[in-house]
Structure 1
């Protein structure tokens, strides 16, 4: 909760709104959940990783936020239906859906990528946002000013080495964002996307599962790639969350179908590395 010029508590940008964040157990999702709560929202954390989600929930409640954790695999239609239903039963409404849950998949060229990996990446990264939106939209329309913010990726805007499934899935999220904006603007629902570049997180715990030397090498590769961007570094998760909160709030009231890059300039320049 912010303070006004007299030092009294002031309403946050999301006060009285219910915000559902998928993939809220760690990384960007956790940062979004914390930022939404700080802006006055009641927050629902959805994730398959209960231990991390409980840590996020503890951080929110320690800061006197109102929040719940609901386990959910966003690729599972039945689980998503229950997630949305429980959210509305608990809080009485749903105002903002943040489709953040995502996985990277194995790095391999297309002719070496197994179909199981392709299907799982598509299921989580593209089917997930669609299924969540499908079940959330009736409630967002009822809200009168509902919002969807999709967390896509710069890899949805450009090609990247050895990432066919991830690039395709995030490209799908980018254009799903535009399509939903076309259909639901007339119902008062705005739909936008954020495309992060290199962010200092370990998405899906991939580095944590590697031997220490390999994990450090993976981190160093990301740092080296980020260093070639105009701003020369990786983002912090809270730098992504600030863009998401802006798009979720009335400050972006005339934005829909927008694809917002938060990438240190990486898509603005040819990478000579």
Structure 2
């Protein structure tokens, strides 16, 4: 299937590891030129080398801490116009209301919540002036599964879901599509760190995290390509009538509800 992405330009935040890293490689396979941002210069440089060894695309790196004052504006100025923005940066700490203090809560939201909002504000305006574009917010199924042991994350993700629907509901008036993706557990270092923390709390031994992993659908987290392939499709011509919507990829976890 030709996604008609050849020659497009994408900005991916949080691109140095995990889903963002795999997204960069997947977009490059489709011929998309890349602007990649994250805090780690070394990881970004290694990713650029891997991509350019196998794909004929330009890769421009922007090592930056998006939580710093004015960072979003600096990034916007440095990047210029893009066809696709993928908001992917940020990790909100896990824990209960009494385990996540105000400072940690605000720090997590500064990048994951306000970072998404700020970049949408900046790049939506650019896309409108340029005649169109696509914004994909990689959010997380925590916005649908109200886990009290991930209370800062579930609250932030639910906010981003509402924001994505509100912005995307009328964005086609400007030839812009705004969509969200809610991954559940994904095969990255982050999910195993969370599993180990939960195993230490609930089972008394962080090394017993595999017992918790067995409770997932298919007894595993999602493969990275099961998330990145969807995001690339949503950013493409093939998904041209999709906006103001959230797509959940969690093996059915968010739908495992009961009336009792």
- The TM tier, using the shorter chain, reads 0.7 to 0.9
* Deviations 1:40-98 (CA, angstroms, capped at 9, x unpaired): 1100111012221112111111123311110122333511111121111xxxx311000
List gaps (5 residues or longer) in structure 2: none
* Count of aligned pairs between the two proteins: 250
Alignment match, 1:121:
108
Give the superposition deviation at 1:162.
1.4
3-state SS, counterpart of residue 138 of structure 1: helix
What does 1:1-273 correspond to in 2, within 5 Å?
Answer: 13-64=4-55, 65-88=57-80, 93-105=81-93, 107-203=94-190, 221=209, 223-270=210-257
Could you tell me the TM-score, scaled by structure 2's length? 0.88
In 2, the alpha carbon distance for the partners of 1:260 and 1:61 equals: 30
3-state SS, counterpart of residue 112 of structure 2: helix
3-state SS, counterpart of residue 12 of structure 2: strand
* Deviations 1:127-164 (CA, angstroms, capped at 9, x unpaired): 01001111111221133230000001010111124111
3-state SS, counterpart of residue 116 of structure 1: helix
3-state SS, counterpart of residue 158 of structure 1: coil
Distance 1:270 1:219, change over 3 A: farther
Distance 1:220 1:31, change over 3 A: farther
In 1, the alpha carbon distance for the partners of 2:58 and 2:207 equals: 35
Alignment match, 1:5:
none
Distance 1:96 1:246, change over 3 A: same
Alignment match, 1:8:
none
List gaps (5 residues or longer) in structure 1: 3-10
In 2, the alpha carbon distance for the partners of 1:239 and 1:252 equals: 17
Q: How much is the aligned-residue C-alpha RMSD, in angstroms?
A: 2.5
